[in-house]
Amino acid sequence: MKLMIDAGNTLIKSAVLAGDEWLHLTPVPTAEADTMTARVAHIPEVSEVWVSNVAGDEVAAHLAAACKSRGWTMYLIGSKKQQCGVSNAYKVVERLGSDRWASLIAAWQMNKAPTLVVTCGTATTIDALSGQGEFLGGLILPGLALMQSSLIDATAKLIHDAGRYAEFPVNTADAIWSGALQATCGAIQRQYALLNDANAQILLSGGAAQELQELLGIPAQTVRNLVLQGLGYIAREASKS
């Protein structure tokens, strides 16, 4: 069995991969990364651990310590020029986040087609894959909650209220939340149009994926944690070499 870990800015997500079976574990707040040694103590024996970490060196150190406590070998992935059928057009290959890279690999292995890969977390990323598996480039936007909170925090007299989506909001909380959703949908729609390919697909992953899918107005598929799935493909390819 292999353990996959996606250490993001807000949450550390993980899953055990046994053959083709996935056992998703309870997410851990990234701020509690120092508890990972205790949290992995109950996990059945695994042969290796594959990690995508965009949360910084301190979190990486806590993950390494947790793996060492169990005698597990940890592989920390980074973006490459080419891997698992995906080629990387980023000007400085290593500067592409490992989470985006893993998501692109998962999307390509699942579709083998032109795809817009959208992940909705602390940030929203909108990345494009060609029909030949080339990463063409992508956008990074503030995530929905970050859009909402930054506006509230920077503006006098706005109250912290979750808000609900409305086409024509009639209160401030709904106006802020609906604006964040519409702005994100607009960016996705614009990038999809720029792909200019009738066969192009859209994959959505992350906490806001379902809500965005309902609003987009163009076909899209919601996929659970593309990063973990991408790590799985990377681990499988490594085992064959």
Residues with a known catalytic role: 99
- CA neighbor of 224 nearest in space, from 60, 27, 82: 27
DSSP string, 147-188: HHHHHHHHSTT---------SS--SHHHHHHHHHHHHHHHHH
d(CA 28, CA 227): 16
Q: 133's torsion region: left (phi>0), alpha (psi -120 to 50) or beta?
A: left
Residues with Cβ within 8 Å of residue 224, at least 6 apart in sequence: 24, 205
How far lies 208's CA from each of 11, 123, 214, 238, in Å?
Answer: 14, 11, 10, 32
d(CA 99, CA 83): 14
What is the torsional sign of CA 225, 139, 214, 198?
negative
The helices-and-strands tally (H runs, E runs) of the chain is 7, 13
d(CA 210, CA 206): 8
Structure tokens at 29: 């707040």
d(CA 16, CA 43): 9
